[in-house]
Amino acid sequence: MIRLGNPQLRIFRPNWFLTLVRPGKEQPPDTVQFRIPMEMTKCDVKNYLEKIYNVPVGAVRTRIQFGSNKKRNHLNQKVKQPDYKVAYVQLAQGQTFTFPDIFPEKERMPTEGSMEEMQEKFMEDEKQRQKLDPRRGGVTEWFGL
Amino acid sequence: MFPILGKKKYSPTIKMAASSSAGRVLTLCKQFQNVFRISSSINTQHCSTTLIKYQPRLYREKSPLAALSWYSPASSVGQCRALHTTINRRGLEEFFDLPENWGETNVKSGAPWTAKQLRTKSNEDLHKLWYVLLKEKNLLLTLEQEARRQRVQMPSPERSRKVERSMIRLETVVKERETALRLLQTGQEKARPGAWRRNVFGYVYWYRFKEYAIPWHMNRRYKRKRFFTPKFVQPHIRLRIEKHLREKARKATLEKKTQSKLKEKFPRVKVSAS
């Protein structure tokens, strides 16, 4: 039991991995949401972030998310989604955190001689063929002679 | 390339300078920074500029214990300069890749660590490397989850497997060293005490001891677990043994038949005596 004064277990090479996730519901600006392994406690999360990441942690709240057992596969057997623990960590010292946009749209120029370039050229040709006659003002063949 | 006298430093990514091109190529590194040597003052000046240039990109590659100066001169070359690195103040940013790599479809990474390479490292180095790999794994996990959320493919997923394998190999190397030390100091082969015990079904297995707050004779749940085989289980054990022997005999005869058939079809093929 983790209490002040009780002997604390020292782990030398922790085998616990935290996943920072984007919050599904709106969270206050200083709250960071993590998915943590089931064996971790609030004190463990606090120590982990403070020692390894040097992040000042104020409060930690955890809950266990039940993974659904409702879906069935092609053999009509129930398929269980794994359960996971979620930790809401509030940063100390008034720091705020917003989850960044990790997949921004980037202008990608396809490299020379690669499949992508050939595919893009092909797609462009196809689109060109699909377009209607510009001399007739882009109007369908139904009209006119 | 500017050789700089440097202390070895671990990072999951390789660097750099050698392969620097305009873009940043972060590759999973297995070697740490090489030892360069400063030959002349001109070079040192040049070095400083290159270092400053690479600083922002390299902070990512610093080990978490970056309080150690990265380029501390360690040799007797007179012209070396002591260079100080910044302490790693990026807290939650370490859960994400460098901003230049956001949105890329391929992020380059090097080879995973092999056990042979890890065995050459000291214990402190392995300890630091474990944390470097841990942070890298956290980064990749957050990336994977975010990619699933945004319904986009994760860039270069093989990195997770490389990091996983490196960590497993590190663990094995550390365990080897610990067993060696334990054998020399105490003569115990296993770290966790255990015993051979027979369970209710007649199987003999290695039971690993668990820590309890109370002695076994006061532990009701432990006493319900019987470590002996009752007499009425003997017939079932006998039937099990018979089944096992029958299966073995069947396999042997099948093997013999296939070999004889092959011998019939291909009489001149030499079969190795196994």
> B95-107: per-residue pLDDT in tens?
998 888 888 888 8
Number of domains, chain A: 1
**Region of poorest pLDDT, from A136-145, B43-52, B83-92, B130-139:** B43-52
DSSP-derived 3-state class of residue B47: helix
Both tokens assigned to B168: 């497993």
pLDDT band at B172 (very low <50, low <70, confident <90, very high): very high
What is the reported pLDDT for A16?
Answer: 94
Instruction: Give B160's DSSP letter.
Output: H
> Of B193 and A137, which is predicted with more confidence?
B193
User: Measured between alpha carbons, how far is B171 from A12 in angstroms, rounded to an integer?
Assistant: 11
Answer yes or no: is A41 within a domain: yes
Q: Which strand (E) or helix (H) includes residue A18?
A: none
For range B225-250, the mean pLDDT: 97
| A31, part of any domain | yes
Per-residue model confidence (pLDDT) at position B101: 87
Q: Give me the pLDDT at residue A10, please.
A: 83
Residue to test with chain A: of B132, B134, B177, most A Cβ within 10 A: B134
Q: Does A23 touch chain B (CB under 8 A)?
A: no
Structural domain of A72: 19-91
Q: Burial, B64: exposed, middle or buried (Cβ in 10 Å; 0-12, 13-18, 19+)? A: middle
Of A80, A36, A30, A79, the closest CA to residue A55 belongs to A30
Most confident of A40-44, B16-20, B42-46, B82-86: A40-44
* Residue in A with minimal Cα distance to B137: A17
Closest Cα in chain B to A97 = B92
**Residue A135: per-residue pLDDT:** 82
How high is the pLDDT of residue B52?
A: 30
Of B160, B174, B168, B61, the C-alpha closest to B125 is: B174
Average pLDDT over residues B73-98: 64
Is B137–A17 a contact, with Cβ atoms under 8 angstroms apart?
Answer: yes
A25 touches chain B (CB under 8 A): no
Q: Given a cut of 70, is residue A1 above it in pLDDT?
A: no
Helix or strand or coil: residue A78? strand
Which is higher by pLDDT, A141 or B35? Answer: A141
Chain B residues at the A interface, defined by Cβ less than 8 Å, are 64, 88-89, 91-92, 94-97, 102-105, 127, 130-131, 134-135, 137-138, 141-147, 149-150, 152, 170-171, 174
- Residue A115: inside a domain: no
CA B8, distance to chain mean position in Å, is 20
Chain A environment of B64 (Cβ under 8 Å): 52-54
Core vs surface per residue A47-79: b (16+ CB within 10 A) or e: bbbeebbebebeebebeeeeeeeeeeeeeeeee
Contact yes or no for A21 and B174 at CB 8 A: no
* B149 contacts on A by Cβ (under 8 Å): 21-22
Q: To the nearest whole number, what is the mean pLDDT of chain B?
A: 77
Please state the ipTM of this predicted complex: 0.81
Of B130, B145, B174, Cβ closest to residue A21: B145
Q: Pick from B97, B102, B142: which is nearest to A20 by CB? A: B142
**Residue A60 is assigned to a structural domain of this protein:** yes
Phi-psi region of A101 (alpha: psi -120 to 50; beta: other; left: phi over 0): beta
B111 by DSSP, 3-state: which?
coil
3-state DSSP assignment of residue B195: strand
Better-scored residue on pLDDT, A86 or B16: A86
Residues in chain A closer than 8 A to B140 (CB atoms): none
User: Would you place residue A17 in the very low, low, confident or very high pLDDT band (cuts 50, 70, 90)?
Assistant: very high
Q: What is the mean pLDDT of residues B236-265?
A: 97
Mean pLDDT of B11-20: 42
Residue A129 is predicted with a pLDDT of 85
In a domain, A10, yes or no: no
pLDDT over threshold 90, residue A89:
yes
> Residue B57 above 50 pLDDT?
no
Q: In what order do the strands lie in the sheet with A57-65?
A: A19-21, A31-36, A84-91, A57-65
Contact residues on chain B for A52, CB-CB shorter than 8 A: 64, 131, 134-135
Q: Please give the mean pLDDT across all residues of chain A.
A: 89
Q: Which residues of A touch B97 (CB under 8 A)?
A: 102
Classify residue A130: in a domain, yes or no: no
Lowest mean pLDDT among B101-105, B236-240, B244-248: B101-105
Confidence of residue B70 (pLDDT cuts 50, 70, 90): very low
**Candidates B103, B105, B146; nearest CB to A22:** B146
pLDDT cut 70: percent of chain B above it: 67
pLDDT at A136 over 60: yes
* pLDDT tens per residue across span B119-164: 999 999 999 999 999 999 999 999 999 999 999 999 989 999 999 9
H helix intervals, A10-145: 42-48, 115-130
User: Which stretch, B50-54, B63-67, B104-108, has highest mean pLDDT?
Assistant: B104-108
Check residue B84 and give its pLDDT.
Answer: 55
What pLDDT score was predicted for residue B54?
29
Residue B88 has a pLDDT of 61
- At residue A128, the pLDDT reads 86
Would you call A21 an interface residue with chain B, using a CB distance cutoff of 8 Å? Answer: yes
Is A81 within a domain?
yes
Residue A119 belongs to a domain: no
What's residue A15's pLDDT? 93
What is the domain-level CATH number for residue A53?
3.30.70.330
A54 and B130: CB-CB below 8 Å? no
* Closest residue of chain A to B151, computed from CA coordinates: A103
Which single residue is written with the structure tokens 């945004």? B150
User: pLDDT tier at A110 (50, 70, 90 boundaries)?
Assistant: low
Note the pLDDT of residue B71. 35
- Residue A99's alpha-carbon distances to A23, A141, B135, in angstroms, are 8, 52, 18
Contacts A–B by Cβ distance under 8 A: 73
A125 CA: distance to closest CA in chain B (Å): 25
Q: Is the pLDDT of residue B182 over 90?
A: yes
pLDDT higher than threshold 90 for residue B17: no
